[in-house]
């Protein structure tokens, strides 16, 4: 999360190129939305008992369990996409994600309308406009976005295995226990759609190839300035109780 925000800040210089990043979490981590009220939605005691890390995202949306999945991240400046609107950014990125899934052999499409209960704290319980769903309409990629005066950050989870369904035991929904069941009815994952197992590395490589076919990209590393800023954000924000227990 700290690296994603540090990269977003680089968009303050409109001459900097956009960045597309693919990464994973170790250990497994639960992230929750910038405005999500964790005291009413997330069982922090159970997370600690199971050794699951947790962190508040700089973007909105609901809780995601990052395990057996790829996390993608895209930062763009306002000059990179015209007109610069949230929907335009979502649509642009959706086409890239869809290309990666297609190259893997997954039959998927871009969702056209919101489906599901927006009050459900599980990100994969609802399907938003421009999110990616399977041929059967089950959610394949969950995404969240934030915009600033100089750019946008959008990131999300691409489940490879069934671990996304384990999130139900970390959600505190005593008032609506029925929402804990039936997650597989509205979400799915890559290995299930392919009916075979593919690895994290293969998925990353495939998405990178797909991106290269669409955009003139270069493989790069974080600069020293970006690493320094990410470390600062980690220490002063994402690793603090003030941020993670905001609500």
Indicate if the pLDDT at residue 114 is higher than 70: no
State the pLDDT at residue 177. Answer: 47
Tell me the C-alpha distance between 18 and 214, whole Å: 14
Specify the pairing of strand 64-66 against strand 53-56.
unpaired
State the pLDDT at residue 39. Answer: 78
- C-alpha distances (whole Å) from 48 to each of 19, 31, 43, 62, 191 are 33, 14, 9, 19, 28
Sequence-distant (≥ 6) Cβ neighbours of residue 60 within 8 angstroms: 33, 34, 35, 144, 145, 146
Q: How confident is the model at residue 2 (pLDDT cuts 50, 70, 90)?
A: very high
pLDDT tens profile 172-182: 755 444 454 44
Q: How confident is the model at residue 126 (pLDDT cuts 50, 70, 90)?
A: confident
Indicate if the pLDDT at residue 120 is higher than 80: no
123 included as an active-site residue: yes
pLDDT tens profile 5-51: 999 999 999 899 999 999 999 999 999 999 888 877 889 899 999 99
pLDDT tens profile 132-160: 999 999 999 999 999 999 999 999 999 99
Domains and their CATH numbers in the chain? 2-244 (3.30.930.10)
* Surface-to-core class of residue 59, CB atoms within 10 Å of its CB (0-12 exposed, 13-18 middle, 19+ buried): buried
- Say if residue 83 is preceded by a cis peptide, omega within 30 of 0: yes
pTM (two decimals): 0.91
Indicate if the pLDDT at residue 245 is higher than 60: yes
Q: Of 11, 41, 123, 171, which one is the catalytic site residue? A: 123
Sequence-distant (≥ 6) Cβ neighbours of residue 72 within 8 angstroms: 20, 21, 22, 97, 141, 155, 156, 158, 207
């Amino acid at each position: 999360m700290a690296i994603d925000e540090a990269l977003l800040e680089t968009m303050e210089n409109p001459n900097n190129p956009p960045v597309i990043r693919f990464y994973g979490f170790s250990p497994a981590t639960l992230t929750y939305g910038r405005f999500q009220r964790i005291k009413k939605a997330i069982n922090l005691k159970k997370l600690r008992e199971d050794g699951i890390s947790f962190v508040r995202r700089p973007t909105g949306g609901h809780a995601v369990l990052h395990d057996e999945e790829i996390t993608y991240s895209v930062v763009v400046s306002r000059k990179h996409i015209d007109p610069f609107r949230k929907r335009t950014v979502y649509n642009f990125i959706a086409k890239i994600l869809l290309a990666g899934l297609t190259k893997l052999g997954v039959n998927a499409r871009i969702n056209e309308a919101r489906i599901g209960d927006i009050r459900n704290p599980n990100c994969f319980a609802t399907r938003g406009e421009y999110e990616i769903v399977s041929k059967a309409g089950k959610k394949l990629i969950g995404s969240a976005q934030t915009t600033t005066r100089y750019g946008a950050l959008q990131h999300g989870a691409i489940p490879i295995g069934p671990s996304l369904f384990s999130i139900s035991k970390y959600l505190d929904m005593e008032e609506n226990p029925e929402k804990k069941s039936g997650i597989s009815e509205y979400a799915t994952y890559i290995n299930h759609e392919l009916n075979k197992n593919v690895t994290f590395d293969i998925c990353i490589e495939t998405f990178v190839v797909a991106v290269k076919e669409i955009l003139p990209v270069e493989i790069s590393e974080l600069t020293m300035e970006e690493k320094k800023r990410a470390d600062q954000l980690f220490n002063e924000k994402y690793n603090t109780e003030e941020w993670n227990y905001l609500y």
